[in-house]
Amino acid sequence: MKKITLIHTVRSIYDSFPSTLEEAMGEKIEMTNVVDEILVSNTNKKGCFNDWNRERLLADLRVAEEEDSDLVVVTCSSLTPYVLEAQDKVRKPIVTIDCAMCRKAAEIGERIMVLATAPTTVGPTVGRINGELERMGKKAEVVSFLRTDAMDALKKGDVETHDIILGEEASKHPGFDTIVLAQASMASAQKKVEEATGSTVLTSPSSCIEEVKAFYGKK
For residue range 4-39, what is the model confidence (pLDDT) as tens digits?
Answer: 999 999 888 899 999 999 999 999 999 999 999 999
Note the pLDDT of residue 10: 86
Average pLDDT on 44-56 reads 93
* Angle, vertex CA 9, rays to CA 113 and CA 32, nearest 5: 125
Note the pLDDT of residue 12: 84
Percent of the chain predicted with pLDDT > 70: 100
Average pLDDT value for the chain:
95
Note the pLDDT of residue 195: 96
What element of type H or E holds 27?
none
Q: pTM of this prediction?
A: 0.84
Note the pLDDT of residue 60: 97
Higher pLDDT among residues 178 and 78, named by residue: 178
Sheet of 30-35: strands edge to edge? 30-35, 3-8, 71-74, 94-96
CA 105, CA 111: separation in Å to the nearest integer? Answer: 10
Query: Tens digit of pLDDT for each residue in 119-168?
Result: 989 999 999 999 999 999 999 999 999 999 999 999 899 999 999 999 99
Query: Tens digit of pLDDT for each residue in 78-97?
Result: 899 999 999 999 999 999 99
Residue 219 has pLDDT above 80, yes or no: no
Residue 218 has pLDDT above 80, yes or no: no
CA 196, CA 152: separation in Å to the nearest integer? Answer: 21
Average pLDDT on 198-217 reads 94
pLDDT bucket at 44, cuts 50 / 70 / 90: confident
